[in-house]
Structure 1
Amino acid sequence: MPVSLVIGGTSGVGLATARQLLARGDDVHLAGRDAARLDAALAEVPGATGHRLDAQDAEAVRALVASLAPLDRLVLTLSGRQGLGALAELDLGDLRRAFDGKFWAHLTAVQAALPHLAEAASVTLVSAITARVALPGTAGVASLNAAVEGLVKPLAAELAPIRVNAVSPGYVDTPWWTMAGEERDAAFAGFAAGLPTRRIATADDVAEAVVFAATNPNLTGTVIESDGGVGLVA
């Protein structure tokens, strides 16, 4: 039975990924910093095992992965809202914290996990389409997600036969969006109208791409765009 660890798997795409990996028959482990969110996630994915974890804590990551070794699939779905805004008003302190919470957390977790990965393991990262789409007000998060994607090809070459890939979502209906009610519905309707797919992705849509990247033995060094075509029209 393959052993899968989803770090940042307590909501949204991470939780959907855990659910789909469990349905495939994996021994699934969820890790997150917040105890209440972790408990809620485990209630939604009965059969998974939960772990309190800060991905920036290398020793904690190392200890957890060692307890699961050999780990077959490492999935990182770390995100945050810091770093958004026009450059003239951008809080660079917020952006540095965003890099700590996502880029440095990705790099720290992957490095700490390495000694305990299976020989043919997969590492799957989650970035965002802002890395490659010129959207005003996203210079900070674009650079952050581009940094995450910049890990993929060199690590795929360096760590082979371990496979390294990423998934780049566009607009996804997850708790990342803090709007509620009619404001949320109106914003999503506006976004969807401009997409070739004419719809906002669900967490499950993106999770399918993550699971594909994590499980397909012929895929490495690749960033999968699961963005509804926003890159074609932005």
Structure 2
Amino acid sequence: MNNSLHNKKILIVGGSSGIGLAISKHAYKAGGQLIIASRNAAGRHNDLAALIGNGIETYSFDITSENETVSVMEEIGDIDHLVITARPEISPAPFAETDIKQAKQAFETKFWGQYQLIQKAQGHIRQNGSIILTTGIAGEKIFKNASTMTIINSATDAFCRLLAVELAPIRVNVVSPGFVAPKPPEVEAYAQQFPSGKIASPEEVADAYIYLMKNPYITGTSLVIDGGAILI
């Protein structure tokens, strides 16, 4: 079975910054036909093309909007791989002090947004294609002041396993990044305790997504990229 990404149509939602941008660069270099979608991707097309390469496609949509999600998927058409790295805005806070409206909005964006997107996109994903979700270290290890992301990440991990069964033969996996640069100095110092001795670069995390797209025998798996953070 050909596990090359050459000429594979790859949609990266949230691919205009951070880990998503790093995945976009890796996928483009691997020969993928790259499509980036986010709230502002189309408006940043020229900047993104300069960072990644000419020939990319960009679309702007709101992942929480059903109408916009349906419209963008109809415009994009069939794809081989769907990668979702959309991130919510949520301020760290003790559970008792967490703003419930902010927490609900975080769920709306990261969990229900991806739920809705996959419902609308799964009919566009070719056989032997894949979906890759993104969680994070707060789903693997308990941290104070991170109740919302702990619950969202844990729910996403279970969602992945369910989808791997229900959407087969489409493969569904999760990448769970640890601390990823850039981070404040205190986080950099904390990461020196990890077996890796440091936080990850976006490029190091992006490698995991490329691996999961290319390997045809991995599904229902959470790939933790944390430098050993959960071990301390």
* 1:175-234 CA distance string (max 9 Å, x none): xx5xxxxxx2x224312212110011010111101111122111100000001111111x
> By how many angstroms is 1:83 displaced?
5.3
Residue aligned with 2:11, SS: strand
Residue aligned with 1:201, SS: coil
- The equivalent position to 1:15 in structure 2, one of 17, 21, 28, is 21
CA contact (8 A) 1:83 1:141 kept: no
CA contact (8 A) 1:55 1:106 kept: yes
CA contact (8 A) 2:28 2:53 kept: no
Q: Which runs of 5+ in 1 are unaligned?
A: 178-183
TM-score, with structure 1 as normaliser: 0.90
CA contact (8 A) 1:11 1:41 kept: no
- Residue 155 of structure 2 corresponds to which residue in structure 1? 147
> By how many angstroms is 1:80 displaced?
2.4
Q: Which runs of 5+ in 2 are unaligned?
A: 1-6
- Residue 3 of structure 2 corresponds to which residue in structure 1? none
CA contact (8 A) 1:168 1:223 kept: yes
Structure 1 residue 26 corresponds to structure 2 residue 32: yes
- Residue 181 of structure 1 corresponds to which residue in structure 2? none
- Residue 4 of structure 2 corresponds to which residue in structure 1? none
Counterpart amino acid of 1:77? Answer: T
Distance across 2 between alignment mates of 1:109 and 1:13: 19
* 1:164-183 CA distance string (max 9 Å, x none): 00100010014xx5xxxxxx
Identity score, percent: 29
> By how many angstroms is 1:64 displaced?
2.6
Aligned length, in residue pairs: 224
CA contact (8 A) 2:9 2:34 kept: yes
CA contact (8 A) 2:171 2:218 kept: yes
TM-score, with structure 2 as normaliser: 0.91
CA contact (8 A) 1:3 1:26 kept: yes
Q: CA 1:66 to 1:119, structure 2 compared with 1: closer, same or farther past 3 Å?
A: farther
CA contact (8 A) 1:69 1:118 kept: no
